[in-house]
Amino acid sequence: MDSEREEKQVGGVRLRNLNFILIVPALILCFLLLFATYRARVEYSRLQEATERYIGSQQDVSAMQAASDYLTEQVRVFAVTGDPAAMDRYFEEVNVTRRRDDALAAMNEYLAGTETYGYLNQALAVSNELMQRELYAMRLAAAGFGLGDDRLAPEVLAVTLSGEDAGLTDNAQRQKARDMVFDDVYQNYRARIAENTALCSAALIDGTQASQNASAGKVSRLFGMHQLLVTALILLVCGLVLATSRLMINPLGSAVEHIRRHEELPLRGSYEMRYLARTYNELREQNTQDRQKLSYEASHDALTGLLNRAAFEKARQQYSHENVAMLLIDVDKFKTFNDTYGHDVGDRILQKVAGLLQHSFRSEDFVCRIGGDEFAVIMLHAGKSLEGLVRGKIDALNATLGAPEDGLPPASLSVGVAFGDRDDPTDDIFKDADTALYYTKEHGRRGVSFY
Q: Which residues are catalytic?
A: 373
Contact 400, 356 (CB under 8 A): yes
Contact 68, 127 (CB under 8 A): yes
How far from each other are the two terminal CA atoms of the chain, in whole angstroms? 72
Q: Which residues pair with 379 in a beta bridge?
A: 325
Contact 274, 268 (CB under 8 A): yes
Give the span between the Cα atoms of 24 and 29, in whole angstroms. 9
Does residue 446 sit in helix, strand or coil? coil
Distances (CA, A) of 99 to 60, 106, 156: 9, 10, 21
Distances (CA, A) of 434 to 9, 109, 166, 306, 428: 61, 42, 32, 20, 10
Give the span between the Cα atoms of 109 and 112, in whole angstroms. 6
Of 82, 328, 53, the closest CA to residue 205 belongs to 53
Q: DSSP assignment of 260-304, as one string? A: HTT-PPP--SSHHHHHHHHHHHHHHHHHHHHHHHHHHHHHB-TTT
Q: Give the relative orientation of helices 19-81 and 99-111 as an angle to the nearest 10 degrees.
A: 150
Give the span between the Cα atoms of 145 and 136, in whole angstroms. 14
Give the span between the Cα atoms of 30 and 396, in whole angstroms. 71
Q: Which residues have a Cβ under 8 Å from the Cβ of 433 and sit 6 or more positions away?
A: 326, 327, 328, 416, 417, 418, 451
Sheet holding 447-450, edge to edge: 366-369, 374-380, 324-331, 413-419, 447-450
DSSP secondary structure letter of residue 350: H
Where b means 16+ CB within 10 Å and e means fewer, 377-409 reads bbbeebebebbeebbebbeebbebbeeeeeebe
Does residue 414 sit in helix, strand or coil? strand
Contact 90, 73 (CB under 8 A): no
